[in-house]
């Protein structure tokens, strides 16, 4: 497992019109280490087809793939899983996916939720949002101080998410974030070339900190 890196998260609202695969490949070439497939469409056939293609892409680029909130799909493809607070049991996911699977839990701005997630089998803990977020504008606000406390308390990878851009990322890295989870700041780009450039800049920032 990579110790630090860019955690790219796809968003079905952003990646329409055939953008998903070329934009994701650009992010992987740019250095993304983890990729979360996030699709809330409810179209099971589309999700399986896209996630299968992403599985192959991630294998080719030595990137860990995680499925958002769909244990059955993660199990079918043999990849990782990320669960929100209302999206299933981390304990059940760990039992089903096995001891080596990469499994993460959303902890909002709560050290208590993080502690519970780790007891239930999470591989990493994700805090956020830290800044105004296009994807989840109403999510609870987390602070760099929370990251510092989490860094002292927990040894697992810590993920920061929510409105992260190249301009504000350093604050979170300095506070102890291992992974920066980026959606709009990465994929809200005019073309794949810009996605690759942003991914490379994020990756360089993370590894220089």
- Taking the C-alpha atoms of residue 68 and residue 23, their distance in angstroms, rounded to an integer, is 18
Residue-level pLDDT at 49? 96
Q: Which residues pair with 209 in a beta bridge?
A: none
Please check whether residue 186 is in contact with residue 24, taking contact to mean a CB–CB distance below 8 angstroms.
no
Q: Which residues pair with 7 in a beta bridge?
A: 34, 181
The per-residue pLDDT for range 145-201, each reduced to its tens digit, is 999 999 999 999 999 999 999 999 999 999 999 999 999 999 999 999 999 999 999
| The pair of three-digit structure tokens given for residue 14, joined into one six-digit string | 């952003």
Phi, psi torsion values for 147, nearest 5 degrees: -60, -40
Please check whether residue 144 is in contact with residue 175, taking contact to mean a CB–CB distance below 8 angstroms.
yes
DSSP-derived pairing of the beta strands 103-106 and 80-83: parallel
The per-residue pLDDT for range 90-130, each reduced to its tens digit, is 999 999 999 999 999 999 999 999 999 999 999 999 999 99
Whole-model pTM? 0.96
Q: Which residues pair with 160 in a beta bridge?
A: 127, 180
Containing 123, the helix (H) or strand (E) segment is none
Neighbouring C-alpha atoms within 13 Å toward the C-beta of 22: 10
Report CA-CA distances (Å) from 176 to 79, 92, 159: 26, 29, 9
Q: Give the mean model confidence (pLDDT) for residues 46-53.
A: 96
Give me the chain's average pLDDT, please.
95
């Amino acid at each position: 497992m990579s110790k630090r890196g860019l955690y790219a998260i796809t968003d079905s609202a952003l990646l329409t019109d055939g953008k998903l695969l070329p934009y994701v490949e650009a992010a992987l070439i740019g250095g993304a280490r983890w990729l979360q497939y996030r699709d809330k469409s409810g179209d099971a056939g589309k999700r399986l087809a896209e996630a299968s293609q992403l599985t192959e892409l991630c294998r080719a680029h030595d990137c860990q793939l995680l499925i958002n909130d769909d244990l059955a799909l993660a199990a079918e493809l043999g990849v990782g899983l990320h669960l929100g607070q209302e999206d299933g049991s981390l304990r059940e996911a760990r039992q089903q996916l096995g001891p080596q699977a990469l499994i993460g839990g959303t902890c909002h701005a709560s050290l208590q939720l993080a502690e519970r997630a780790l007891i239930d089998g999470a591989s990493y803990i994700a805090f956020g949002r830290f800044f105004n977020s296009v994807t989840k504008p109403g999510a609870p606000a987390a602070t760099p101080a929370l990251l510092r406390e989490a860094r002292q308390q927990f040894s697992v990878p810590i993920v920061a998410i929510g409105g992260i851009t190249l301009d504000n990322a350093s604050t979170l890295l300095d506070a102890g974030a291992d992974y920066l989870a980026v959606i709009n700041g990465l994929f809200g780009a005019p073309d794949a070339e810009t996605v690759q450039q942003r991914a490379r800049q994020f990756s360089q920032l993370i590894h220089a900190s």
